[in-house]
């Protein structure tokens, strides 16, 4: 699980996170949501140790995050960044194999290659294995990088048993993972990620689409100006009042008999009113 106690984070005396505290269990998907500049990416980076925890505590698997060595952390925690850049041209399968680097000392073995092949298939990019990453579209690259972080965390035994759970808790952090993906691949990616929670993975993802969060997330954490607005079970948190407080927009929830979750529709007049106020300034 993830345990977060009183996190504060500032840059140049500007507070980006303020007294953030929550606990989140393994085997679930948490969506972090909020308006632009709310502190979502900063929180994700502190949770994954990409940024130092200036104040407060973060624990992964009941252990203080600061006590993990880099090589230890690389075996249990993977991060899908919002933007990925490569200095050199790599083939897709070579890039995904890089996810296995924390697990071998010299060269990959048959199990590593099997994991890479599995991840390429699961993310729908196996047919691109021999292409160089630079020749792919943005959406294709995003799926390749998902395959890479999956390869970093999956155990060989899990390829044959979807109910297999590693002795080590695994943590996957995703910063806007569906950006640039079409509708089909948004659903495919989040379905794949959701399946990882069934293997015991603790998944934390920054999402902007309220309906995707309603569909896939077990819990939602709403942020505004670095502070938690609400946190809890998705359908209890994503209610009109909390959404309005977080995003400044009025919404309605509708239920379809074929869905086990409601979908969210914003009022169109929200945009007109905001635009009018901006024009008057």
- List Cβ neighbours of 262 (8 Å cut-off, separation of 6 or more): 214, 235, 253, 254, 255
Q: What pLDDT, on the 0 to 100 scale, is given for residue 272?
A: 57
Q: What pLDDT, on the 0 to 100 scale, is given for residue 271?
A: 59
Q: Identify whether residues 205 and 272 lie together within a single domain.
A: no
Based on the number of CB atoms within 10 Å of its own CB, is 155 exposed (0-12), middle (13-18) or buried (19 or more)? middle
The tens-digit pLDDT sequence of the chain (281 residues) is 899 999 999 998 899 999 999 999 999 999 999 999 999 999 999 999 999 999 999 999 999 999 999 999 999 999 998 766 666 788 999 999 999 999 887 888 999 999 999 999 999 999 999 999 989 988 889 999 999 999 999 998 888 877 777 778 999 999 999 988 899 999 999 999 999 999 899 999 999 999 999 999 999 999 999 999 999 999 999 999 999 999 999 999 998 888 889 999 998 665 555 544 444 44
Q: Identify whether residues 280 and 145 lie together within a single domain.
A: no
- List Cβ neighbours of 6 (8 Å cut-off, separation of 6 or more): 19, 20, 21, 55, 56, 57
Q: Identify whether residues 217 and 178 lie together within a single domain.
A: yes
Q: Which domain holds residue 104?
A: 2-248
Q: Identify whether residues 188 and 222 lie together within a single domain.
A: yes
Q: Identify whether residues 253 and 241 lie together within a single domain.
A: no
Cβ 18 vs Cβ 55: under 8 Å: no
Cβ 85 vs Cβ 39: under 8 Å: no
Q: Identify whether residues 154 and 200 lie together within a single domain.
A: yes
Q: Identify whether residues 74 and 177 lie together within a single domain.
A: yes
Q: What pLDDT, on the 0 to 100 scale, is given for residue 87?
A: 61
Q: Identify whether residues 204 and 94 lie together within a single domain.
A: yes
- List Cβ neighbours of 241 (8 Å cut-off, separation of 6 or more): none
| pTM (predicted TM-score) | 0.90
Output phi, psi for 128, to 5 deg.
Answer: -100, 5
Angle at 172 between CA 182 and CA 91, to 5 degrees: 60
Q: What pLDDT, on the 0 to 100 scale, is given for residue 95?
A: 94
Q: Identify whether residues 136 and 175 lie together within a single domain.
A: yes
Q: Identify whether residues 193 and 274 lie together within a single domain.
A: no
Q: Identify whether residues 41 and 119 lie together within a single domain.
A: yes
Q: What pLDDT, on the 0 to 100 scale, is given for residue 15?
A: 92
Q: What pLDDT, on the 0 to 100 scale, is given for residue 274?
A: 56
Number of structural domains found in the chain:
2
Q: What pLDDT, on the 0 to 100 scale, is given for residue 165?
A: 79
Q: What pLDDT, on the 0 to 100 scale, is given for residue 267?
A: 82
- List Cβ neighbours of 11 (8 Å cut-off, separation of 6 or more): none
Report the CATH number at residue 116: 3.40.50.300
- List Cβ neighbours of 165 (8 Å cut-off, separation of 6 or more): 199, 200
Q: What pLDDT, on the 0 to 100 scale, is given for residue 257?
A: 85
CA atoms of 197 and 202, how far apart (whole Å): 6
Q: Identify whether residues 172 and 273 lie together within a single domain.
A: no
Based on the number of CB atoms within 10 Å of its own CB, is 5 exposed (0-12), middle (13-18) or buried (19 or more)? middle
């Amino acid at each position: 699980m993830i345990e977060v106690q009183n996190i504060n984070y500032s840059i140049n005396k500007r507070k980006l996170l303020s007294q953030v505290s929550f606990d989140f269990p393994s085997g679930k998907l948490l969506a972090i949501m909020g308006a632009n500049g709310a502190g979502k990416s900063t929180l994700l980076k502190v949770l994954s140790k990409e940024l130092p925890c200036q104040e407060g505590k973060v624990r992964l698997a009941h252990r203080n995050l600061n006590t993990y060595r880099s090589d230890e952390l690389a075996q249990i925690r993977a991060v899908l960044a919002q933007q990925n850049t490569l200095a050199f041209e790599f083939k897709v399968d070579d890039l995904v194999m890089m996810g296995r680097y924390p697990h071998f000392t010299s060269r990959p073995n048959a199990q590593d290659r099997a994991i890479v092949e599995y991840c390429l298939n699961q993310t729908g990019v196996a047919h691109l294995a021999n292409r160089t990453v630079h020749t792919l579209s943005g959406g294709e690259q995003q799926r390749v990088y998902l395959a890479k972080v999956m390869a970093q965390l999956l155990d060989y035994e899990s390829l044959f048993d979807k109910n297999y759970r590693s002795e080590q808790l695994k943590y996957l952090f995703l910063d806007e993972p569906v950006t640039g993906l079409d509708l089909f691949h948004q659903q495919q990616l989040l379905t794949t990620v959701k399946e990882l929670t069934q293997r015991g993975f603790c998944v934390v993802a920054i999402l902007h689409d309220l309906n995707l969060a309603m569909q896939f997330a077990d819990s939602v954490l709403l942020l505004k100006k670095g502070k938690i607005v609400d946190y809890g079970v998705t359908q209890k948190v994503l209610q009109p009042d909390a959404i309005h407080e977080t995003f400044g927009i009025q919404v309605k929830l509708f239920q379809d008999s074929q869905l086990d979750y409601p979908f969210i529709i914003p009022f169109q007049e929200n945009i007109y009113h905001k635009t009018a106020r901006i024009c008057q300034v």
